Structure formats: C-alpha cells, structure tokens
Amino acid sequence: MKMKLYVYEDCALCLRLRMLIGLKQLACEVIMVAPGQWPPSLCQTLPTLKAPRLMLSAETGERWIEPSAEIIAQLAEATDTPQLMESGEDDSDAASRMVALWCESNGALLDKLCLPRLAERPLKAWQTPAGRAEWIERSEGRMGLTLSQAKALTPRWLDALIPQLVPLEDWLKIDALLAETREVNAADLHAYAALRDLILVSELALSERLLAYLDALARRSGVPLWSQHEAASTKRSELALVDA
C-alpha cells in the first residue's frame, strides 16, 4: 500500500505529521499544497479540499482519509510508537503535559509574533492573488489584527513571551535530547511546531540551548527550520497594500 500525505506549509498539525513521517522513516510521500491551489485532478475527485489529507493507494483502488485522528491512527499503525502523536494525556511525565499546555495557552501570542513574519516568506499560499488574499484573511481573522498592526506591537508580545520561555526549557528536557539519552516524544513535536516560527522573529534572541534543541529536532525529523536570512531579505510589498 502506498501513502501520500497532502499538507499545508504553515499548518501545525501538518508539520507534526511530517515530523512523524521523518522520525519513523515511513514510506509516505509528502505533497505540499496551498488553499485554492490543489491539483486539478483532485479538485474534480474530492468533495472538499482541506489539509492534512492522506491518500491510501492499493491494487483495489484509492481511499482518502481526512479526519486528523484517523490520519494519525493510520500513520501510527506503521510505527512501533503510536503514542508519539498524542498530546500527553497518557504520558506519566508531568513535564510533557506542561509542554502541551504551554503550546496551547500561548498559541494566540505566537500567532501575533509569527504570522507577520511568515507573510514575508515565499509561502506556496502566496503564489496566486487568490491564495494571498485567503491567507491574509485567515491569518488576520485568527489574530483579530492586521499583519502590520500585529508586527508593530512586537515589543508587547515579546514582553509577554520571553519570561515564559525559561520554564519551557526545563520542561523540554533539552540536555537529555541533545545527549541522545531520551527519544523524541509528543511534547517535542508540539514544541517544535510552536517554536519553529520564532526563528523568524529577529527581535527575539532565543537561547543557544533552545536553538540547539530546535536544530536537533530539525535534523532528526528532516523538517527544516526557516532561514531567518531568507525571510529578512524577502520583499513583500503586498503587506503595505493590506493596510492601504
């Protein structure tokens, strides 16, 4: 049976699924798509176009899986650690549960810091005017602010975030991961998905320890970190037009 996973570039769940595939070296092709830019053949086949979406292909035909829980179950079936994608509820380690709670409770704050920077990258969603407009509308709806307004308030968001990074580093058990005395767990997948975009916030100086942690997860999973230099050099005149 062949598997193909269709994902969005800036989707946290999609990123965790990509990490699972890389960490476990699953035979699953990952295909990056953008809202409104799916292959025409799939537009005619599928009733709705959402990601993540998993296609299972066998001699008897194709089967599509859309609900996230079912995708996770299908991928987990091919691994020896199906709990890797769980949020930590069945994990006896209290620190792992704290990481999952941290990521959930700080999601809105991370959006306000990271979405304006993601808008400066050459995302697939920006390749057409319709895709750009949809991405902006969705992102600004999540924040309740325009991209420019959110970026202008960066000092406020950093004042709220920086103190919270200190306990997070302890909960992540970074030293054990770097020394390879523990395996990557569900907390790491949640943390990487939440923190990866912070690399783009040039006003934030992440600790060397946290940067080493993110780099280790990137290398093990095959899901790379963003390039801050590339983001800074990308010119997006569309952002000015949003608030014009």
pLDDT of residue 9: 87
Kindly indicate the confidence band of residue 148, based on its pLDDT and cuts at 50, 70 and 90: very high
- Segment 72-100 shows an average pLDDT of 67
Distances (CA, A) of 89 to 47, 100, 101, 173, 174: 34, 9, 11, 18, 21
Kindly indicate the confidence band of residue 81, based on its pLDDT and cuts at 50, 70 and 90: low
Q: Which residue has the higher pLDDT, 240 or 76?
A: 76
Instruction: Please give the domain boundaries of the chain with CATH numbers for all domains.
Output: 2-85 (3.40.30.10), 94-242 (1.20.1050.10)
Residues contacting 165, CB < 8 A, separation 6+: 206, 207, 210
Kindly indicate the confidence band of residue 238, based on its pLDDT and cuts at 50, 70 and 90: very low
pLDDT of residue 18: 94
pLDDT of residue 62: 84
pLDDT of residue 74: 85
pLDDT of residue 228: 44
pLDDT of 47 over the 80 cut: no
> Pseudo-torsion of CA 13, 19, 21, 23, nearest 10°?
-150
